[in-house]
Amino acid sequence: MTPSYIIAGNWKMNKTPQESIDFISTLHEKLILNDKTSNKSTSSNPIEVLIIPPFTSLFAVNNSSNQIKIGAQNLFYEEKGAYTGEISPLMLKGLVDYVLIGHSERRQIFKEDDISINKKIKTALKHGFIPILCIGETLEERESGNTFSKIENQLSADLDGLTDEEIRKLVIAYEPIWAIGTGKNATPDQAQEVHEFIGNFLMEKLKSKNFSDSQKVPLILYGGSVTPQNSFDLLSKKNIKGVLVGGSSLKIDDFFDIIMNCYKVTMD
């Protein structure tokens, strides 16, 4: 079933394999308990809960919960060879469903450019993973009125050469760089405005090629200082179909509260 919302926790460079196992099994229990008390069957649940742990935890958490999907934080676009320190798509097979691509920390600290991000998206798709493409503007770009042009440039370059069918398989995460790890989230209106822009860009791109079901466009998640406190208002916005959570995904109660806020939004 295609989810209507995704609540994803990006753990970045945090948690050992044992800590990851403990977190996921506790979260699993909490989700099961919640399903029981709310009398809801998980199979009809439109919310996908996704944890994106470090590579070193992927094998350990494999199969630890059928309620929680697992993603990788990155992958390399070659399948094997002399690429010290990189992770091939073949190594991720069977361990993850999703792969984060182009996170701003990869772009800024590790100097990943749109050309390699584009190759990584194609590689992920070829191997059956769902890429979560991260895009977003810097504070300087926002303040100089260049948010939309930055988003458009990133989407054009990162999606270059993808077929409509491939684009439909993606998830997009809008993460304004000035909001990541800063405690300063975009307001729900600021986020909605950009989500709508991204949605229109994708609709246009898909429609222009005359595909019949141009309605189905990728889910667009918001990321950047998402907390239990601000998640309900963000998720209530029309074009915000989930969140990509960093800091607050490391604490089980906070992450669980964010998932519960998404439940509330879907029940409204």
Among 124, 244, 260, 265, binds ligand PGA (CB under 6 A): 244
If binding is defined by CB under 6 A, does position 94 make contact with ligand PGA?
no
Judged by CB, which is closer to ligand PGA: 9, or 89? 9
Structure tokens at 146: 């260049």
Structure tokens at 149: 């042009």
Q: Report 204-223 residues binding ligand PGA (CB under 6 A).
A: 223
If binding is defined by CB under 6 A, does position 224 make contact with ligand PGA?
yes
Residue 103: active-site member: yes
Instruction: Name the residue whose CB lies closest to ligand PGA.
Output: 246
Q: Report 132-161 residues binding ligand PGA (CB under 6 A).
A: none
Provide, for the chain, the percentages of residues in helix, strand and coil under a 3-state DSSP scheme, each rounded to the nearest 5. 45, 15, 40
If binding is defined by CB under 6 A, does position 242 make contact with ligand PGA?
no
Structure tokens at 178: 């000035």
DSSP type of residue 249:
G
Please choose, out of 18-26, 116-124, 242-250, 253-261, the segment that lies near ligand PGA by the rule CB under 6 A: 242-250
Instruction: Compute the least distance from the CB of residue 32 to ligand PGA, in Å.
Output: 26
The residue among 189, 180, 205 whose CA lies nearest residue 240 is 189
# residues contacting ligand PGA (CB under 6 A): 13
Integer Cα distance of 79 and 206 in angstroms: 30
Instruction: Compute the least distance from the CB of residue 226 to ligand PGA, in Å.
Output: 5
User: Are 82 and 41 within 8 A, CB to CB?
Assistant: no
If binding is defined by CB under 6 A, does position 265 make contact with ligand PGA?
no
Structure tokens at 145: 């009125």
**Max Cα distance, the chain (Å):** 52
Angle of the 147-158 helix axis to the 114-126 helix axis, nearest 10: 50
- Which regions of the chain does DSSP assign to beta strands (E)? 5-10, 47-52, 68-72, 98-101, 130-135, 171-174, 219-223, 242-245
Among 10, 74, 147, 230, binds ligand PGA (CB under 6 A): 10
If binding is defined by CB under 6 A, does position 225 make contact with ligand PGA?
yes
User: Are 243 and 9 within 8 A, CB to CB?
Assistant: no
The residue among 13, 49, 44 whose CA lies nearest residue 257 is 49
Structure tokens at 70: 């697992």
Instruction: Write down the catalytic residue from 103, 105, 141, 195.
Output: 103
Instruction: Compute the least distance from the CB of residue 245 to ligand PGA, in Å.
Output: 5
Instruction: Compute the least distance from the CB of residue 180 to ligand PGA, in Å.
Output: 4
Integer Cα distance of 171 and 21 in angstroms: 26
Among 180, 220, 240, 259, binds ligand PGA (CB under 6 A): 180
If binding is defined by CB under 6 A, does position 245 make contact with ligand PGA?
yes
Judged by CB, which is closer to ligand PGA: 225, or 239? 225
Judged by CB, which is closer to ligand PGA: 182, or 208? 182
Residue 195: active-site member: no
Indicate which residues carry an active-site annotation: 103, 175
Q: Give the footprint of ligand PGA on this chain (CB under 6 A).
A: 10, 175, 180-181, 223-226, 244-248
